[in-house]
Structure 1
Amino acid sequence: MADQTTFIAFLRAVNVGGRTVTMERLRALFGELGLAAVRTYIQSGNVFFSADSGVDRAALTRRIEAHLSQALGYQVPTVLRTVDELAAVLAADPFHEVEITPEVRLCVVFLSEPPPADLALPLRSPKGDLEVIAVTPGEAFVVARRLAGRAPANPATVFGRTYRGHGTSRFFHTAAKILAAARKG
């Protein structure tokens, strides 16, 4: 039997905007793809599963997205990370100098494609509610601020329409909880 790796599927558009799917159904859908040890974490589209270590990740992502789209009737952009990759994201912690206030949320956006090559940091949204303070080839670290009592825009949209990939965001502290749950496997 090939070595197995635990993957975390970060799903976008699950249980938001009237698109509801139970975690039981989500686990079943991943099981239908032949993935092993399928588990979910909270209702926001975080799925753990095992697959062969040498699996073609891009092909697996396309299979998951196609299956979810067919079964649910809408697109579910998916970004895969291994447990070790998520641990490295959290260890990078570019937020250590950000002052935390009730208006500030720290977010990591998991990207399907690298961020724009000419990205100048920090990148601020026109309204000033989002600020990208660091990037890796697979993530953007975003400080989201409530302005005048209003929630910030979705951090996953920070690069605008010119970005050729997609992203899905999680609060930084939630990403740490996701990692801990994935490790419990």
Structure 2
Amino acid sequence: MSADQTHIAFLRAVNVGGRKVEMARLREVLAGLGLGSVRTYIASGNAFFTSAETDRTALVERIEHALADSFGFAIPTILRTVPELEAELAASPFVGREPAEDERFSMVFTSGSLAGGEFPMRSAKGDWEILGASERTAYVIWRRLNGRPGANPNPVIEKTFGVYATGRFFHTAEKILAASRKA
């Protein structure tokens, strides 16, 4: 094992549709796995912790198993290290751009590779567009149509690439990165 590294866990589909995950309990579960400096950020399923574990797959499996045992349903977990999230934010086509009034910039974090994807990829209605992707993160513009938010592109990403996906607005991802650096 190497030195402890800060990880960011993005939990998929929590606190929506009856899938309640209390952040205090989430912190307890993660700390119970021996992960250090466990913290959470807002109630949409973002957690920070330190670990010397170098096998990401094994770490994700341990976390997902413990979460399923504790909460009673599967919670796909997508991990990034702080340097990985920094690189994904820096690679974003949204850096230095302001969204139009009817747009929202989003980053969709995935559990596996998005290699081979043909971008841009657009919905038939034009309510979302995947501008491009880094290795494991898609960069999405959501558009409001007739004043309503568009459909969620995550199911399309999951089906196309055979991965789990969870999104965060770009400005939220920037805040998550900043919060991950606080002790």
1:60-139 equivalent positions in 2, closer than 5 A: 60-96=59-95, 100-115=99-114, 117=116, 119-139=117-137
Correspondence for 1:48:
48
Task: Assess if the C-alpha contact under 8 Å between 1:107 and 1:155 holds in 2.
Answer: no
- The 1:2–1:162 alpha-carbon spacing in structure 2 relative to 1, beyond 3 Å, is closer
1-structure distance, mates of 2:141, 2:134? 15
Structure 2, unpaired ranges of 5+: none
- DSSP-derived class of the 2:161 partner: coil
2-structure distance, mates of 1:50, 1:99? 33
Structure 1, unpaired ranges of 5+: none
2-structure distance, mates of 1:93, 1:161? 23
Correspondence for 1:142:
140
Aligned CA RMSD, in angstroms, stands at: 1.7
> Among the aligned pairs, what percent are the same residue?
51
Deviation track 1:55-88 (CA, whole Å, cap 9, x = no partner) reads: 2011100111111112111111111001111111
2-structure distance, mates of 1:165, 1:12? 12
Q: CA deviation at 1:149?
A: 1.7
2-structure distance, mates of 1:115, 1:92? 15
How many residues align structurally?
183
Task: Assess if the C-alpha contact under 8 Å between 1:130 and 1:158 holds in 2.
Answer: no
Deviation track 1:77-122 (CA, whole Å, cap 9, x = no partner) reads: 11100111111111112124866222100000111111251x2211
- The 1:84–1:99 alpha-carbon spacing in structure 2 relative to 1, beyond 3 Å, is closer
